[in-house]
Amino acid sequence: MRVSIVIPVIRPEKAMRCIKMATENAGIQQEDFEVLTAHDWQRLGAPKMVKALTAIAEFENVCFIGEDTLPQKNWLKEAINTMRLFEMEWGLVGLNDQTGRNDLATHWLASKRLLGYLGEEFFHTGYWHCCCDVELTERANLMGRFKYSEKSVVLHDHPLLASEKAADKDYERVYSDEYLSHDRNLLKLRRERNWQ
């Protein structure tokens, strides 16, 4: 099973650390994965960046991790092992980002076969930042195509998860009341309209 790892970039120093750890700790041969990154200079947001990177992904399986994750030993190998548990080996695998949520694919491994059921994008691009992962997980669950990989650990180095760290302006923007309200309203509307 070969994987395209997609990482949208806003903070280059965090991205460099993430790429290094993702590569060194993948637990599979380097020829079996590629790492695709793009700097979000225009602040388009993760949904649009993931769509753009998925469009150029060479492999059938796409893995999204945030630049602020710290992939641990065998993280990708374990995600692949979980993917293999699905009938015909395709679906959505939520990674363990140590937030205590095993019911939400904040970071994930997914088969491109899902795209045909999701309007050709893993994260609906109407979202600005939040709730896109909620929709993706809910829709995969409805199809019986979601599993959580406890052993695929990608620690989330997120200032809002660690109260001792100060959030930068980008974190503050995407978790602002304006952004949260927009994305929660969109999620509610899309649920009511059966994801249309």
Q: What is the pLDDT of residues 78-110, one digit of tens each?
A: 999 999 999 999 999 999 998 888 999 999 999
Would you tell me how many other CB atoms lie within 10 Å of the CB of residue 119? 12
Range of the domain at 100: 3-192
Q: What is the pLDDT of residues 162-190, one digit of tens each?
A: 655 667 888 888 889 999 999 999 999 99
H/E stretch holding 34: strand 33-39
> What is the maximal distance between C-alpha atoms in the chain?
44
Can you spell out the DSSP letters for 56-96? T--SSEEEE--TTEEE-TTHHHHHHHHHTTSGGG-SEEEEE
Radius of gyration of the chain, Cα coordinates, nearest whole angstrom: 16
Helices 177-192 and 132-142 cross at an angle (nearest 10°) of: 20
Q: What is the pTM of this model?
A: 0.95
Distance CA 183, CA 146 (A): 22
Assign residue 160 the CATH number of its domain: 3.90.550.10
What's the number of domains the chain is made of?
1
